[in-house]
Structure 1
Amino acid sequence: MLETLRLTRRLYNAGLEQRREAYRKQGKTLSAYDQQRELSALKAECPEYAEVYAHVLQDTLDRLDKAYKAFFRRVKRGEKAGFPRFKPAQRWNSFRFKQCWDNKKNDWTACGRPVDDGRRISLPKIGAVRCRFHRPLEGKPKTLQIVLDVDEWYAVYTCEVPVSPLPETGSAVGVDVGTRYFAITSDGEFVENPRHLGKSLRKLRVQQRTVSRRQKGSHRRQKAVRQLAKTYRRIRRSRQDFHHKTARKLVREHDLIAHEDLKVSNLVPSNLARSISDVGWRAFLDILRGKAESAGRVVVRVPPQYTSQRCHACGHTCRENRDNEVFRCVSCGHEDHADHNAAKNILARALPSGENGGSHAVA
């Protein structure tokens, strides 16, 4: 598997160099299909690539093509766009089998089939690899990605599963996300912010200083880098676990969930950059939409303008209504927690009779 990683990374970098040179010398833009047609010649010239499954090589060039398309898409939108870069070993940690299921035969292909009573999985050109499934696979497996996470290997299956609607609850809720509290609902529930990164900053500083003191290229530096990566992995996993549990609770209890249509990338360059990155709003909202779609729920994104300044009781909107966490309307005197008042406004905008005539985007 390490050799497959090495060869696919070399192929990605070679494909990138070929595209750059073709455009610089001939003004020609190569496609993924153009490069994939040359794989047979590559295997004849470099026999080591014949030991890598064809779909894995094709997917590597597809990834390069997606990187190019994403770059030009950002340029077209006027966003900050970084040109595709050559991948060092530290930034290349996975390869993918594009097809695990044969629809005509309604059976597994050669990729990813569980063997030996589910204790191993079959990987073409690699062998039967020992695997521990944390839960049974559901639906039809579509793709299989093999991921190296620091010092652990993972088999990530993408499966096509039918929608499993949950029983209707008749409840709708608005959710306001923040950094003081992770989420505040229109029902008055305050979800504490676990601050996964903040609690580990001291340990991270010590480990990062240790890395900087080690000589580059030494085994001691590699060991220190692995320890630092494991700490970041623990933080990432804790955050993901919290996101999944919070999203699942909302989906289980409500038929409609409304939240602000936040542009998180515009909020990060501020004095709250670390706190916003730590809380992970964008990842949480993506997880929430995925779980809601699977459960037959509706997630509504509403415009975020003035939700924290508008009085839910009378509709008066001005900056003076809010003083940090206290909301006190200067028009009618209504008092509430500022984020709770904002969550009520978010829900009101999501309902058909809400503000702006119920205009919203449904995810």
Structure 2
Amino acid sequence: MRIAYQYKLRPTKEQADKIEKTLDMLRHQYNYMLAEKFNWWEQNRCPINACPLICHLPALKDRPTRFSQQKSLTQLKIDRPWYKQIHSQVLQEVPKRVELAFDRWLKGDSNGKRLGKPRFKRKGQYKTFTYPQFQQHHFVNNKVKLSKIGDVKVIVHRPIPDGFIIKTVSVTRKSNGYFVNFSLEDKSVPEIKPDIKRGRIVGIDVGLIDFFVTSDNESVPAPKYLRKSERKLKSAQRKVSRRKKGSKRRQKAIKQLAKKHRKVADTRKDFHFKTANQLLSNYDIVAVEKLNIKGMAKSRLAKSVHDAGWGQFNTILANKAEKAGQLIVEVKPHGTSVECSRCGNKVKKTLAQRKHNCPNCNLSIGRDLNAAINIKNRAKVLIKDLLPPVKFEAEQGTQLNLFAHQLKRKGIPC
């Protein structure tokens, strides 16, 4: 299992200057290598969609790959000796990052979806560099040893779990300081814990009024952190627009605006973590809808969808469930709000109708509660293949058969 832990750094002034210089030099190298990719693409692509049968074909140039660009780094350090201040493996991560961004634009990701054209990084936009190989003994006594930078103090607010090995280390600059991210791995952690209980299952239906409603009729109100901070954000944004471009006062106003946005994001993330912890402490299996959040974020409810942060919550919930050996089941969202959870009859309703009233079975419950029950019922069908079969010991025959009979009466597969 792979997890990530983030800690805040307390570098000295000299160490902070080294981090800033490293980021700026990596930014220049990123832009140079990306320009090489664009030049190759412009010189080898056909500007028209048709050509005569007999025409001159120019000689195609070799495509600059990740490995060919990595070989050029040796000559780079000879021509520009100040690049020796950067660790070699940190510098080798730049061609890898460029190739990933370029290929996702031309070929697409693993699902075949193409992303936007990569852009050149302006000053201050290159914010992270990575050490791909890290020794475990370089992080002791609340200090992390970063090559070419030194021993930097770390605020360790939680210890690294036993058995996990540090694989990679990344240093990130944010509006509120510098942070270090440890990528941890432990292959001994099982994907699903062996004593998982199929009966401890719940379905949740996320929304904008209530953050989610469970199938047990428990609800968590939406906190709406962005909406509550709009006045302060508007005031900070107005200060930025009034400052002269390129001035120090404008840069100071931009930093203040970034801190306010960071506070909103951190508060929302803290809420997601605490809500996920509470949910997983009460249930072993959580059923959620596989929503098209990106499509919903382009609708007229875009600001509220972004403010809720469903995508971030689903990621945190999945990561915490994997770490605890619990299970997250994704079901298709189509029809969960329309179908009756008791009889299956389809009752069409608008978004303004918050009650589900079925004329067939006279069921009258909340719209979100009805959807959560449907999500739970769909997940029960799916976990037959996801969970291993229940194993019973021979000597417990009568009691186990009675237990299995009780499970079937409750509709729980076993």
TM-score normalized by the length of structure 2: 0.79
Inter-CA distance 296–303: structure 2 relative to 1 (3 Å threshold): same
Contact 1:148 1:154 in 2 (8 A): yes
SS in 2 for 1:89: coil
Residue 316 of structure 2, aligned match among 282, 287, 299 = 287
Inter-CA distance 225–33: structure 2 relative to 1 (3 Å threshold): same
Compare 18-27 and 196-205 and name the one that shifted more.
18-27
Q: CA offset at residue 29 of structure 1?
A: 2.8
Q: CA offset at residue 323 of structure 1?
A: 5.5
Matches within 5 A, 1:1-363: 1-25=19-43, 26-74=60-108, 79=113, 81-101=115-135, 107-108=136-137, 113-115=138-140, 118-138=141-161, 139-161=164-186, 162-163=188-189, 165=193, 168=196, 170-320=199-349, 324-352=353-381
Q: CA offset at residue 312 of structure 1?
A: 0.4
Work out the CA distance in 2 between the residues paired with 1:308 and 1:340. Answer: 9
CA RMSD of aligned residues (A): 2.3
Work out the CA distance in 2 between the residues paired with 1:166 and 1:188. Answer: 28
Work out the CA distance in 1 between the residues paired with 2:110 and 2:268. Answer: 33
**Count of aligned positions:** 347
Q: Which residue of structure 1 lines up, in the alignment, with residue 5 of structure 2?
A: none
Work out the CA distance in 1 between the residues paired with 2:372 and 2:320. Answer: 21
1:124 partner amino acid: S
Work out the CA distance in 2 between the residues paired with 1:350 and 1:218. Answer: 57
Inter-CA distance 196–73: structure 2 relative to 1 (3 Å threshold): farther
Compare 317-326 and 48-57 and name the one that shifted more.
317-326
Work out the CA distance in 2 between the residues paired with 1:194 and 1:15. Answer: 44
Contact 2:107 2:114 in 1 (8 A): no
Inter-CA distance 359–223: structure 2 relative to 1 (3 Å threshold): same
Compare 144-153 and 270-279 and name the one that shifted more.
144-153
Q: Deviations over 1:216-249 (max 9, x none)?
A: 0111111111110000000110111111111112
1:180 partner amino acid: I
Q: Deviations over 1:311-347 (max 9, x none)?
A: 0011001314986211111322210010010000001
1:22 partner amino acid: W
Q: Deviations over 1:62-101 (max 9, x none)?
A: 1112212322344896756311110112321111111113
Inter-CA distance 80–20: structure 2 relative to 1 (3 Å threshold): closer
Q: CA offset at residue 48 of structure 1?
A: 1.0
Inter-CA distance 150–321: structure 2 relative to 1 (3 Å threshold): closer
Q: Deviations over 1:167-215 (max 9, x none)?
A: 6454100010011111111011101111111110011111111100000
Inter-CA distance 187–83: structure 2 relative to 1 (3 Å threshold): same
SS in 2 for 1:37: helix
Work out the CA distance in 1 between the residues paired with 2:107 and 2:208. Answer: 31
Contact 1:121 1:128 in 2 (8 A): yes
Inter-CA distance 353–166: structure 2 relative to 1 (3 Å threshold): closer
Q: CA offset at residue 130 of structure 1?
A: 2.3
Work out the CA distance in 1 between the residues paired with 2:351 and 2:335. Answer: 11
Work out the CA distance in 2 between the residues paired with 1:308 and 1:49. Answer: 59
Unpaired runs of 5+ residues, structure 1, are 102-106
Contact 2:104 2:114 in 1 (8 A): no
Unpaired runs of 5+ residues, structure 2, are 1-18, 44-59, 387-414
| Larger Rg, first or second structure (1 or 2) | 2
Q: CA offset at residue 303 of structure 1?
A: 0.6
1:163 partner amino acid: V
Contact 1:166 1:252 in 2 (8 A): no
Q: CA offset at residue 305 of structure 1?
A: 0.4
Inter-CA distance 73–252: structure 2 relative to 1 (3 Å threshold): farther
Task: Give the share of equivalent positions with the same residue, in percent.
Answer: 35
Q: CA offset at residue 151 of structure 1?
A: 4.2
Q: CA offset at residue 279 of structure 1?
A: 0.5
Work out the CA distance in 1 between the residues paired with 2:132 and 2:364. Answer: 56
SS in 2 for 1:327: strand
Contact 1:204 1:231 in 2 (8 A): yes
Compare 173-182 and 28-37 and name the one that shifted more.
28-37
Contact 1:96 1:145 in 2 (8 A): yes
2:133 partner amino acid: Q
Contact 2:106 2:114 in 1 (8 A): no
Q: Deviations over 1:24-66 (max 9, x none)?
A: 3345432211111111011111111111001111112211122
Work out the CA distance in 2 between the residues paired with 1:69 and 1:252. Answer: 41
SS in 2 for 1:182: strand
Q: Which residue of structure 1 lines up, in the alignment, with residue 390 of structure 2?
A: none
